[in-house]
Structure formats: structure tokens, C-alpha cells
Chains A and B, each alone.
Chain A
Amino acid sequence: GAVVSQHPSRVICKSGTSVKIECRSLDFQATTMFWYRQFPKQSLMLMATSNEGSKATYEQGVEKDKFLINHASLTLSTLTVTSAHPEDSSFYICSARDTETQYFGPGTRLLVL
């Protein structure tokens, strides 16, 4: 299947700093990428849909000024958690759609101290 990479896999930062997570589709072009968040023992929660060349669409309850999404090319989307706080600590997963199927990255574990 198609490959989606995510970087970094793990990041620890101080409260108040910003963290950028990259998501790349390695062997296909993705006009649409997705960002999910997973809380412990819960399902994946869609945060936003990222469209190449246009603004991201955020799900209800997700602060767009806090979670900045940029989809500058057909193979790269970035999520920046601005002014991170301990409650932002979570597992963030990106996904890219290749025709009918969505493929997921390996995830990024964010820990905000």
C-alpha cells in the first residue's frame, strides 16, 4: 500500500513553545490530507482536513489558531501546535487519501511539560 511518513515520531517541549509536525505522502500525490488526534483508549478524532493550496477545514471544537495547518504541496502537510500546553499532549496522526483509500502515518507523540 501507499506510504505516509510523519516527522518527528516523538517530541517533548516546554509549555508555551510551538511544535511543527510534518506529514508526507511518499509514493503518491495527495490533494487532501487529514489530521487526527487520539486520546488514550479512545478512537481517532478528526481535527481538520487539509487541502492543497487552500485553507484547512477544521472540525467543531478544534481551535484553528492553535492548530495551524499548511498544505503547500501535493505531498506535504504540516501541523503546528502553537503555544503548546500540557493538555495538548497527545498522539497526533496524519493521513493522506489515495483514490479510495486513506493511508495513515505512524503518528507523533507530543508531550508538553
Chain B
Amino acid sequence: DQQVKQNSPSLSVQEGRISILNCDYTNSMFDYFLWYKKYPAEGPTFLISISSIKDKNEDGRFTVFLNKSAKHLSLHIVPSQPGDSAVYFCAARWTGANNLFFGTGTRLTVIP
């Protein structure tokens, strides 16, 4: 049972434009969400996170939005750069739980 879903397996965006990566979850107990970036044959790199008490968190070019009522979060990257091309995973967990639940990832390609 996939509790965290990324329904778009891939996304292509022109350099300089905004990239929007989406993630949906089903478990209302999740209260902490994270985004990771992954290159082939490497471990995921932590990008940004958000607690369920917030609806937005920003860090440089990366902003994560959380809509709890819709059980939806999104990662905005602006402006997109070719170096952002990678697979992006969203992940979620709840307080007291150790492990993360991952989505299946979205491959972002930023076209120069």
C-alpha cells in the first residue's frame, strides 16, 4: 500500500522556468514531510522539509507547500537550472515513528 504517491514519473522544464513537483499522501498521521534529490548511483540528498504546523517553507530556490486538507504537498524550484536534473523523492513520517515513507520519485529534466 503506497502511502506516499508521486503520480508524475517525469517532468521536463525549460531552464529559468519554475519546476513544480507534486506529492500526495493518504495517512493523516503524517506530520513531517521531506524532499530528497537523487542522482543515479548515489544516495538521496536532503533538500527541504516541512512540519505539518506550517503550510510553506522556503530555502533559496526551493519552496515546499503543504495542503493538509488535500493531503498534498509540492516542491517549487525557481528558477530551474540544468543541475537540478535528477530524481526527486518526497517522504513522510509521523511523530514517534522512525522510518520514512517514500514516494516513487519524479525524474526532473531541466532543458538548457
Which residues of A approach B to under 8 Å, CB–CB?
1, 4, 6, 32, 34, 42-44, 46, 49, 91, 93-95, 97, 100-107, 109
Chain B residue with the shortest CB-CB distance to A48: B99
Which residues of B approach A to under 8 Å, CB–CB?
32, 34, 36, 41-46, 49, 51, 89, 91, 98-100, 102-105
- Asked if A32 and B98 make an inter-chain contact with CB atoms under 8 angstroms apart, the answer reads yes
Contact of A102 among B42, B46, B51 (CB under 8 A): B46
A105 surroundings in chain B (CB, below 8 A): 43
B99 surroundings in chain A (CB, below 8 A): 34, 46, 49
Chain A residue with the shortest CB-CB distance to B91: A102
A106 surroundings in chain B (CB, below 8 A): 42-43
Distance in angstroms between the alpha carbons of A53 and B100 in the assembled complex: 21
If A44-B44, A44-B102, A94-B43 are given as contacts, then 20 extra A-B residue pairs at C-beta distance below 8 Å, sorted by A number, are A1-B46, A4-B43, A6-B43, A32-B98, A42-B104, A43-B89, A43-B103, A43-B104, A43-B105, A44-B89, A46-B99, A46-B100, A101-B34, A101-B49, A102-B34, A102-B91, A104-B46, A106-B43, A107-B42, A107-B43
Most buried by A among B91, B100, B104: B100
Chain A residue with the shortest CB-CB distance to B43: A104
Distance in angstroms between the alpha carbons of A107 and B45 in the assembled complex: 11
A103 surroundings in chain B (CB, below 8 A): 46
Distance in angstroms between the alpha carbons of A97 and B100 in the assembled complex: 10
Q: Which 7 A-B pairs have the closest CB atoms?
A: A104-B43, A43-B104, A107-B43, A104-B44, A106-B43, A93-B43, A105-B43
